[in-house]
Amino acid sequence: MNIIRKTIENINNNKKVILLIVVENKGSSPGRQGFKMLVVDDGKRYGSIGGGATEHKLVNRAYKMLEKNIYVPELHEQIHRTEEAMHASGMICSGENIVILYPIDNKYISDFEVFKRCFDTKNEITLTLGINELKIEEGAKISEQYEFKNNIYKEVLGYKHIVCIVGGGHVGLALSKQMKILEYTVKIYDNRPNLDTLEANDYADEKHIINFEKVDEYIPDGKNIYIVIASFSHTHDKKILTKLLNKKVAYIGMMGSKNKVKEIFSNLIEKGYSKEQLKKISAPIGVVIKSKTPEEIAVSIAAEIIKTKNTI
């Protein structure tokens, strides 16, 4: 969003710019899908598409486009292997990426007005870029954050990664704070009214007092949904897990000791749940760092969620 703000700022000041976006990446590429950079005709530049030789080469190309008044967008395929004769980037990290260089000037001001409206409301925006197309629409028009098909790139800007924490206790409070620092949307659920840690939770975007029997009605499916089960008893955790087990989400984790997890899983298998179903549950939850305090547990859970998000 910062690069988009800079784009608007510069075209409002009658600057010509080139917007560079990594529209696709494979393997160990230095620039990941969605990385953005802005090159301005006054010599300034903002952001990064991954650095290194690839960025240097494409930034120089962007300046050349501005110098020669080239207004046709360009797609540049970069292959980071020394044995490649065509499209070789000069890097050796073995990945590949495609970068679009898109010239933008003040004739696009009316298109970018959509961004101005959405900055304040924090609504999602879908940006579509192709060689012959620039479109900006309010709302998410694709199911995931990025899409690149038939040389058309789409991205949902303001895409929300949502952590749903079932359990408003000390870990729920610490995790809410941690995930808010990481700029996730945080929703927390508990069945106890007047819970002090829930009342003290100023980090959650939403707080809900619910019946755990209906928890599945509150949490939607989605590849941007991460569920953390951390209620105050293993009985509740088992109930919550059975309600959420078939959710099509990015991540489900359950807090508890190895013995507690083993007991709950054994009980669920006896009731007809399959081992395959249970394999998708991260339990005991979090990266193993021998965490003790709620804050340390929150760090371990956050690390596992980040790993999941970045490897989907």
pLDDT of 239 reads 93
How far is 73 from 65, CA to CA, in rounded Å? 10
pLDDT of 1 reads 62
pLDDT of 117 reads 67
Tokens of 89: 């980037």
pLDDT of 78 reads 82
User: Is the separation of the CB atoms in 20 and 58 below 8 Å?
Assistant: yes
User: Is the separation of the CB atoms in 227 and 167 below 8 Å?
Assistant: no
pLDDT of 59 reads 95
pLDDT of 81 reads 46
Domains of the chain, CATH where assigned? 2-157 (no CATH), 162-311 (3.40.50.720)
How many C-beta neighbours within 10 Å does residue 184 have?
A: 22
Checking if the pLDDT of 57 tops 50, the result is yes
User: Hey, which residues does 251 pair with through a beta bridge?
Assistant: 226
pLDDT of 115 reads 73
Tokens of 219: 């949490």
Checking if the pLDDT of 189 tops 90, the result is yes
* Band of pLDDT at residue 84, cut at 50, 70 and 90: very low
pLDDT tens, residue by residue, 108-136: 777 777 776 666 666 788 999 988 888 88
pLDDT tens, residue by residue, 13-44: 999 999 999 999 886 667 788 999 999 999 99
* Band of pLDDT at residue 253, cut at 50, 70 and 90: very high
pLDDT of 29 reads 67
pTM of the model: 0.71
Give the residue-averaged pLDDT of 139-147.
87
pLDDT of 302 reads 97
Q: What is the DSSP string of the chain?
A: -HHHHHHHHHHHTT--EEEEEEEEEESS-SS-TT-EEEEETTS-EEE-SS-HHHHHHHHHHHHHHHHTT--S-EEEEEE--TT-SSSB-S--S--EEEEEEEEE-GGGHHHHHHHHHHHHHT--EEEEEETTEEEEEES--SSSSEEEETTEEEEEETPPPEEEEE--SHHHHHHHHHHHHTT-EEEEEES-TT-HHHHT--S-SEEEE--GGGGGGTS--EEEEEEEE--SSHHHHHHHHHHHTT--EEEEEE---HHHHHHHHHHHHHTT--HHHHHTEESS-S--S---SHHHHHHHHHHHHHHHHHH-
pLDDT of 91 reads 46
Checking if the pLDDT of 88 tops 60, the result is no
Among 161, 279, 178, 157, which residue's Cα sits nearest to residue 226? 161
pLDDT tens, residue by residue, 255-304: 988 999 999 999 999 988 888 889 899 999 999 999 999 999 999 999 99
Give the residue-averaged pLDDT of 55-84.
85
Computed over every residue of the chain, the mean pLDDT equals: 88
pLDDT of 121 reads 60
